[in-house]
């Protein structure tokens, strides 16, 4: 608590190297709150500024924080092929409404090594005509990889878009055995 008796929000972050490049992981007391692709210095600065504005506190770099330890461990295990599912507390405070509903369904209902169409996912949340809105929800996902938006594809077999880039989406789907490993 702060000096006024209020619970003070704490946000900690670190960068983890992965097969798809560096990922910024940020967490609050409630759980992992943000994962950011291509975590260069400039990308980190932008992401941390957005987190500070949205959560009302300046994120603190703390790679050894207990709030991040398990997330780091699970992300590394996923990329090493030793983990198929993430079992982490998640802080959903950066997303709400339809987007949160869709992402929660994605996280619980689309397992490792499988894919779902945008329209199919819309139907699962009771909005069968909302495929485009599902696409927007995927683009707004604050927790990519952990909440696996890379598993959402076009109904005609196309790979669809991806906030981390289509090459990154292909790499994640190859890691999960959905696509063949790229030749180069």
Token pair, residue 141, equals 């996902």
**Catalytic machinery residues:** 149
Measure CA 98 to chain center: 17
CB 35 within 8 A of CB 74: no
Class of residue 4 by CB neighbours under 10 A (exposed 0-12, middle 13-18, buried 19+):
exposed
The three-class DSSP label of residue 68 is: helix
The three-class DSSP label of residue 48 is: helix
């Amino acid at each position: 608590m702060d000096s006024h008796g209020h619970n003070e929000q704490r946000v900690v972050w670190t960068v983890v190297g992965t097969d798809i490049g560096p990922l910024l992981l940020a967490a609050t007391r409630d759980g992992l709150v943000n994962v950011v692709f291509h975590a260069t210095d400039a990308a980190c600065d932008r992401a941390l500024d957005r987190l500070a504005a949205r959560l009302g506190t300046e994120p603190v770099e703390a790679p050894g924080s207990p709030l991040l330890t398990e997330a780091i461990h699970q992300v590394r295990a996923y990329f090493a092929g030793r983990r198929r599912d993430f079992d982490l507390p998640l802080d959903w405070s950066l997303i709400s409404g339809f987007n949160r509903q869709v992402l929660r369904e994605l996280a619980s209902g689309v397992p490792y090594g499988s894919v779902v169409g945008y329209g199919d996912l819309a139907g699962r949340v009771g909005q069968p005509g909302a495929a485009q809105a599902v696409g927007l929800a995927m683009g707004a996902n604050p927790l990519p990889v952990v909440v696996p938006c890379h598993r959402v594809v076009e109904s005609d077999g196309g790979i669809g878009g991806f906030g981390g880039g289509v090459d990154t989406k292909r790499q994640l789907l190859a890691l999960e055995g959905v696509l063949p490993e790229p030749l180069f």
